A and B are shown apart, each in its own frame.
Chain A
Amino acid sequence: DADVTQTPRNRITKTGKRIMLECSQTKGHDRMYWYRQDPGLGLRLIYYSFDVKDINKGEISDGYSVSRQAQAKFSLSLESAIPNQTALYFCATSGGQAGQPQHFGDGTRLSIL
Chain B
Amino acid sequence: AQRVTQPEKLLSVFKGAPVELKCNYSYSGSPELFWYVQYSRQRLQLLLRHISRESIKGFTADLNKGETSFHLKKPFAQEEDSAMYYCALLSGTYKYIFGTGTRLKVLA
Binding site for B on A (CB under 8 A): 4, 31, 33, 35, 40-45, 48, 50, 90, 92, 94, 98-99, 101-107
Q: Are A48 and B94 neighbours in the complex by a CB distance under 8 Å?
A: yes
Given A48-B94, A50-B94, verify A101-B34 contact (CB < 8 Å): yes
Given A42-B99, A42-B101, verify A104-B94 contact (CB < 8 Å): no
Alpha-carbon gap, A30 to B12, bound state (A):
39
Which residues in window 75-98 of B have CB below 8 A to A? 86, 88, 90, 93-96, 98
Q: List 24 A-B contacts (CB under 8 A).
A: A4-B43, A33-B96, A40-B9, A42-B6, A42-B86, A42-B98, A42-B100, A42-B101, A43-B44, A43-B86, A43-B98, A45-B95, A45-B96, A48-B94, A50-B94, A90-B43, A98-B32, A99-B51, A99-B90, A102-B96, A104-B43, A104-B45, A105-B43, A106-B42
Q: A42-B98, A99-B32, A104-B45 are in contact. List 8 more A-B contacts (CB 8 A).
A: A31-B94, A98-B32, A99-B51, A101-B34, A102-B44, A104-B43, A104-B44, A106-B43
Residue of B nearest to A50 (CB): B94
Q: Are B94 and A101 neighbours in the complex by a CB distance under 8 Å?
A: no
B46 at interface, CB cutoff 8 A:
yes
Binding site for A on B (CB under 8 A): 6, 9, 32, 34, 36, 42-46, 49, 51, 86, 88, 90, 93-96, 98-101
